[in-house]
C-alpha cells in the first residue's frame, strides 16, 4: 500500500482544484475523503449503489471480497463458526471483545430475561390476515416496540441504548416465532428461560401444548451456525438502512424495522427464499443446463439466485461452511431432498461456465441456507425472518457504534437532477 497522504482533483478549465486527504483504516482499501470537494470545486460525486463509497468508520466487521475473508472484530468467521455460539458472537459484535465466563453469563441472563413480548402484542398480531407474509408482520411488530418501551428511549444515555440493543436481540426471535405460529393457527408459545437462545427459539416455533418437543441435536447446532454466519456483514443494504435511520436520531426499534424491510428484498436477504423457489422451479438436475443458459440471457430477467455478491469476487466464505452443514443436516435427519442435487449441479455448472467465471460470480451465503431451513421444517416464507433474527445482532452493534461516533452526521445524499428546468405554472383551464 502506498503512503500517499492526499490526492489533488483539478478542473483545469474552470481553474479549480481541491486537495483531498486519504484516510486509512487498520486494513483494507484507503479512501479519499471528499467532504470538502463541493465547497472547494462546486462538484458533488456520483456513485450509484455506493460501489465506491465508504459511509462511515467501523471497527465491527472486515471483508476482503477478493480473498474471500470475513472477520468479526478481527476473528475469522471460520473460527467463530467452529468454536463460538450465536449469543457469544452477538456479545462480541456489540462489545468488541469476546466475553469471559462471567461476562457471558451476565449477557445470557440479560437476554434471557428480556425475551417476553408484551401481552398487547397478541392483539396486534391478531390484526394481521392469517396469510400475511411473516416479514411484513415482523417489520410492523418490531417497529411498534418503541410504543411499548418509550420510557427507555433517551438516546443520549449509553445504558438506555445498550438496553434497547439487548431487548432487540432478545425479543426479535419471540416475535418471529409468534408470527409463524399465528400464520399456521397455533397458540403463541412463551419463551422458556431454562433453554439457551437457539433451542428456546426452536421450542417457541415448534413445541405444541399437547406434548414435548424432541429436537434432534443437529437442529440447534445448524441454526446456531446459520445465525453466526448471518450475524453481520459490514455496510450491506439493511445495515446501511439501519444507520441511515439511526443518523436522524430515530429510535433503534424504528431503525431495525427499516433494516428488516431492506433485508426483505430478493437482491438481499430475500434471496434465501428466492433460491428455494428457483431450485423448485428447476426441479430436476437435467434442467440445470437450461437454467444456466437462461441466467446468462439478459433479456430473460432471470438471475441465479444465491449467486454473486457486491463485495465477494471469490467464494463467499460463509457459503462453504453452510454447504458442509447442509450435507450433515440432511444426513443426520435422514432427509433425502432432491433439491440438494439440483443445487450442487447448478453450482458445478455455473462455476465451469465462462459467464460466471469471468464476472466472478460465486455462490453466496444464501445459496445453501434455504435447504437447511427446509430440512428443519421451516416454511419458505420464514427463511428471511431467520436471517433477520441473526442480523439483529449486527444491526444493533452498528447502531450502537454510530450513536457513540463523534463524527456521525445525518445521512443526506445529493443527486444529479434530471427533471424539468424552471417553467411557469399554467392554470388548468389554460392547459
Task: Give the C-alpha separation, 273 to 157, whole Å.
Answer: 39
Q: Does 269 bind ligand ACO (CB under 6 A)?
A: yes
The one among 303, 323, 345, 374 contacting ligand ACO by CB under 6 A? 303
Whole-number minimum distance, CB 280 to ligand ACO, in Å?
Answer: 16
| Known catalytic membership, residue 366 | yes
Q: Which of 58, 55, 54, 57 is nearest to 96 (CA)?
A: 58
185 phi-psi bin (left φ>0, alpha ψ -120 to 50, beta other)? left
Task: Give the C-alpha separation, 16 to 13, whole Å.
Answer: 8
The one among 267, 284, 286, 404 contacting ligand ACO by CB under 6 A? 267
Q: Does 165 bind ligand ACO (CB under 6 A)?
A: no
The one among 138, 361, 376, 386 contacting ligand ACO by CB under 6 A? 361
> Could you write out the DSSP letters of every residue in 344-356?
HHHHHHHHHSHHH
Whole-number minimum distance, CB 394 to ligand ACO, in Å?
Answer: 11
Task: Give the C-alpha separation, 14 to 104, whole Å.
Answer: 60
Query: Considering only 15-23, 158-166, 177-185, 299-307, which stretch makes contact with ligand ACO by CB under 6 A?
Result: 299-307
Query: 132: which residues sit within 8 A by CB, 6+ positions away?
Result: 183
The one among 309, 323, 345, 374 contacting ligand ACO by CB under 6 A? 309
The one among 161, 200, 203, 268 contacting ligand ACO by CB under 6 A? 268
In degrees, rounded to 5, the angle at the alpha carbon of residue 194 between the alpha carbons of residues 382 and 95 is 70
The one among 271, 292, 339, 390 contacting ligand ACO by CB under 6 A? 271
Q: Does 359 bind ligand ACO (CB under 6 A)?
A: yes
Q: Which of 273, 278, 311 is nearest to 295 (CA)?
A: 278
Whole-number minimum distance, CB 347 to ligand ACO, in Å?
Answer: 12
* Cβ–Cβ under 8 Å, residues 259 and 395: yes
The one among 77, 204, 295, 389 contacting ligand ACO by CB under 6 A? 295
Task: Give the C-alpha separation, 337 to 381, whole Å.
Answer: 18
| Known catalytic membership, residue 405 | no
Whole-number minimum distance, CB 174 to ligand ACO, in Å?
Answer: 24
Q: Does 317 bind ligand ACO (CB under 6 A)?
A: no
Q: Does 304 bind ligand ACO (CB under 6 A)?
A: yes
Q: Does 365 bind ligand ACO (CB under 6 A)?
A: yes
Task: Give the C-alpha separation, 396 to 242, whole Å.
Answer: 8
Check 133, 230, 268, 309 and give the catalytic one.
309
- Cα→Cα distances 379→195, 208, 346, 376, 390, Å: 23, 17, 23, 9, 17
Catalytic (active-site) positions = 309, 366
Binding residues vs ligand ACO (CB under 6 A): 49, 267-269, 271, 295, 303-310, 359, 361, 364-366
Amino acid at each position: 500500500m502506498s503512503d500517499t497522504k492526499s490526492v489533488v482533483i483539478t478542473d483545469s478549465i474552470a481553474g479549480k482544484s481541491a486537495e483531498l486527504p486519504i484516510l486509512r483504516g487498520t486494513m483494507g482499501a484507503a479512501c479519499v475523503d471528499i467532504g470538502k470537494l463541493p465547497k472547494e470545486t462546486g462538484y458533488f460525486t456520483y456513485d450509484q449503489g455506493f460501489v465506491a463509497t465508504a459511509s462511515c468508520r467501523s471497527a465491527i466487521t472486515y471483508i476482503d471480497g477478493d480473498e474471500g475473508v470475513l472477520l468479526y472484530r478481527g476473528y475469522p468467521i471460520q473460527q467463530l463458526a467452529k468454536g463460538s455460539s450465536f449469543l457469544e458472537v452477538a456479545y462480541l459484535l456489540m462489545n468488541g471483545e469476546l466475553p469471559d465466563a462471567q461476562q457471558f453469563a451476565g449477557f445470557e441472563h440479560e437476554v434471557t430475561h428480556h425475551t417476553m413480548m408484551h401481552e398487547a402484542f397478541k392483539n396486534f398480531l391478531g390484526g394481521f390476515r392469517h396469510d400475511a407474509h411473516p416479514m411484513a408482520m415482523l417489520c410492523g411488530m418490531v417497529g411498534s416496540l418503541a410504543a411499548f418501551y418509550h420510557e427507555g428511549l433517551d438516546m443520549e444515555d449509553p445504558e438506555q441504548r445498550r438496553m434497547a440493543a439487548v431487548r432487540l436481540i432478545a425479543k426479535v426471535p419471540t416475535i418471529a416465532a409468534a408470527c409463524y405460529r399465528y400464520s399456521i393457527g397455533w397458540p403463541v408459545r412463551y419463551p422458556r428461560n431454562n433453554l439457551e437462545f437457539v433451542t428456546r427459539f426452536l421450542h417457541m416455533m415448534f413445541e405444541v401444548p399437547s406434548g414435548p418437543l424432541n429436537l434432534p441435536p443437529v437442529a440447534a447446532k445448524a441454526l446456531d451456525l446459520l445465525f453466526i454466519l448471518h450475524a453481520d456483514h459490514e455496510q450491506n443494504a439493511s445495515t446501511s438502512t439501519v444507520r441511515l435511520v439511526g443518523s436522524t436520531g430515530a429510535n433503534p426499534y424504528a431503525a431495525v424495522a427499516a433494516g428488516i424491510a431492506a433485508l426483505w428484498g430478493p437482491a438481499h436477504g430475500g434471496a434465501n427464499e428466492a433460491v428455494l423457489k428457483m431450485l423448485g422451479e428447476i426441479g430436476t438436475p437435467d434442467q440445470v443446463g437450461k437454467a444456466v443458459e437462461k441466467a446468462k440471457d439478459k433479456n430473460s430477467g432471470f438471475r441465479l439466485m444465491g449467486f454473486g455478491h457486491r463485495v465477494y469476487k471469490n467464494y463467499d466464505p460463509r457459503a462453504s461452511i453452510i454447504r458442509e452443514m447442509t450435507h450433515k443436516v440432511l444426513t443426520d435427519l435422514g432427509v433425502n431432498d432432491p433439491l440438494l442435487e439440483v443445487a450442487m449441479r447448478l453450482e458445478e455448472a455455473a462455476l465451469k461456465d465462462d459467464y460466471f467465471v469471468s464476472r466472478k460470480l460465486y455462490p453466496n451465503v444464501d445459496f445453501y441456507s434455504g435447504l437447511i431451513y427446509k430440512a428443519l421444517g421451516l416454511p419458505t416464507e420464514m427463511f428471511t425472518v431467520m436471517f433477520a433474527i441473526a442480523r439483529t445482532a449486527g444491526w444493533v452493534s452498528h447502531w450502537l457504534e454510530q450513536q457513540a461516533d463523534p463524527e456521525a452526521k445525518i445521512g443526506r445524499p445529493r443527486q444529479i437532477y434530471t427533471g424539468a428546468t424552471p417553467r411557469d405554472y399554467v392554470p388548468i383551464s389554460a392547459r
